Amino acid sequence: MAILLTGGAGFIGSHTAVACLNASVDVVLADNFSNSSPKVLDRIEKITGKRPALYNVDVCDKRALRDIFAERFITGVIHFAGLKAVGESVRLPLAYYRNNLDSCLSVLEVMQEFGCKEFVFSSSATVYGDQPAPLTESADTGHCSNPYGWTKFMIEQILKDAAKANPELHVVLLRYFNPIGAHESGLIGENPNGIPNNLMPYITQVAVGKLKQLTIFGDSYDTPDGTGVRDYIHVMDLAEGHLAALGYAEAHAGCEVFNLGTGKGVSVLEMVNTFSSVNGVEVPYIIGERRAGDLATVYADPAKAEQILGWHAKRTVADMCRDSWNWQKNNPNGYDG
């Protein structure tokens, strides 16, 4: 009996694999390595002492998926696989809609063929768009500002409809806030292709000397120090949130949605200063223009996950900074050394 992690070699997938294996939940990984490396498997084994099966497949390919379900007894799926770069999604909308919707539909159809009922989906706080924080799960959705966000919104709708039509389905939608950090061993972490779009990988690449300086995208927002405020969550807390969601999915039919965030807003400047002081490294920065589509303040109300899943984020912003740096400095070129 195993849980299939699509996109299981990626940033959040690999950390969730570790959390599952450490909790004696067996996992099988499927990944096409479009933004990940098969070398992550050695690291997962080093951390957990277990080496899960890893299939090199594109989960849009139903035939390849069927082979996995035929070979393994898959009791549930956590669907991480998907394209996730906001800017790229504006340039390549069709690729985003094709890949993200197709992969989800393929997985759901093959699950149905094999009588597999539990499905946990990686959604995003991006579905809330520009609304006042803290955001509860009952806030309006469908105010996305880019095709990537719309794929999350559309997949949420597909899953709600699928669960309504099939009372046997057990679906959990997880709306992530801003995942950063790395496993405390420093053996696995985030390894973006090219120049990072997101704040923490940009900071770590400046700190390690790969990039010259950080540009802070605007300091005139209506926030305490003028820079953007987000709800950063340690990726191991997020990973443990998936375990809690799996437990919930086992016991509950239907479709339920949970925010996975800390409930605390942190500004860009606070993050840069915490990173520097915790790690004793300089992060040179300049203040630049606002980035198109950015919001002033986004953070979760995490109460529902606490009440129903019994889960809350435990790690601090200092932990996130320490672990992100530990991963980056030990692996300046990601899994390639």
Which residues are annotated as catalytic? 148
Size (the chain), residues: 337
Please name which of 229, 294, 303 lies closest in space to residue 262, comparing C-alpha atoms. 303
Q: Is the dihedral of CA 216, 220, 226, 228 positive or negative?
A: negative
Contact indicator for 99, 35 with CB cutoff of 8 Å: no
Contact indicator for 207, 283 with CB cutoff of 8 Å: yes
Q: How far is CA 18 from CA 172, 236, 237, 258, in A?
A: 20, 9, 12, 22
Q: Which residue is nearest to ligand UD1 (CB)?
A: 228
Query: How far apart are alpha carbons 142 and 152 in whole angstroms?
Result: 9
Name which of 83 and 245 has its Cβ closer to ligand UD1.
83
3-state helix, strand, coil in the chain (%, to 5): 45, 20, 40
Phi, psi of 330 (to 5 degrees): -80, -20
Our finding on whether 215 is near ligand UD1 (CB under 6 A) is yes
Name which of 69 and 128 has its Cβ closer to ligand UD1.
128
Q: The tokens of 303 are what?
A: 């109460």
Write the CB contacts of 296 (distance below 8 Å, at least 6 apart in sequence). Answer: 221, 222, 223, 228, 229
Give the footprint of ligand UD1 on residues 246-265 (CB under 6 A).
Answer: none
Segment lying near ligand UD1 (by CB under 6 A), choices 28-36, 39-47, 111-119, 211-219: 211-219
Name which of 19 and 83 has its Cβ closer to ligand UD1.
83
- The one among 199, 239, 309, 321 contacting ligand UD1 by CB under 6 A: 199
User: Would you give the binding string for ligand UD1 spanning residues 70-99, x where CB under 6 A is met?
Assistant: ----------------x-------------
- The one among 75, 124, 141, 328 contacting ligand UD1 by CB under 6 A: 124
Segment lying near ligand UD1 (by CB under 6 A), choices 12-20, 40-48, 141-149, 162-170: 141-149
- The one among 34, 37, 48, 197 contacting ligand UD1 by CB under 6 A: 197
First CA to last CA distance, the chain:
34
CB of 33 to ligand UD1, least distance (A): 20
Give the footprint of ligand UD1 on residues 160-179 (CB under 6 A).
Answer: 178-179
**How many residues sit in the footprint of ligand UD1 (CB under 6 A)?**
22
Q: List helix spans (H) across the chain.
A: 11-22, 40-48, 62-71, 86-91, 93-114, 147-165, 199-207, 235-251, 268-279, 303-304, 317-330
Give the footprint of ligand UD1 on residues 282-321 (CB under 6 A).
Answer: 291, 293-294
Please name which of 269, 279, 265 lies closest in space to residue 320, comparing C-alpha atoms. 279
Name which of 139 and 268 has its Cβ closer to ligand UD1.
268
Name which of 75 and 227 has its Cβ closer to ligand UD1.
227
CB of 70 to ligand UD1, least distance (A): 34
Catalog residues that contact ligand UD1 under the rule CB under 6 A: 86, 124, 126, 145-146, 149, 178-179, 197-199, 202, 214-217, 228, 230, 268, 291, 293-294
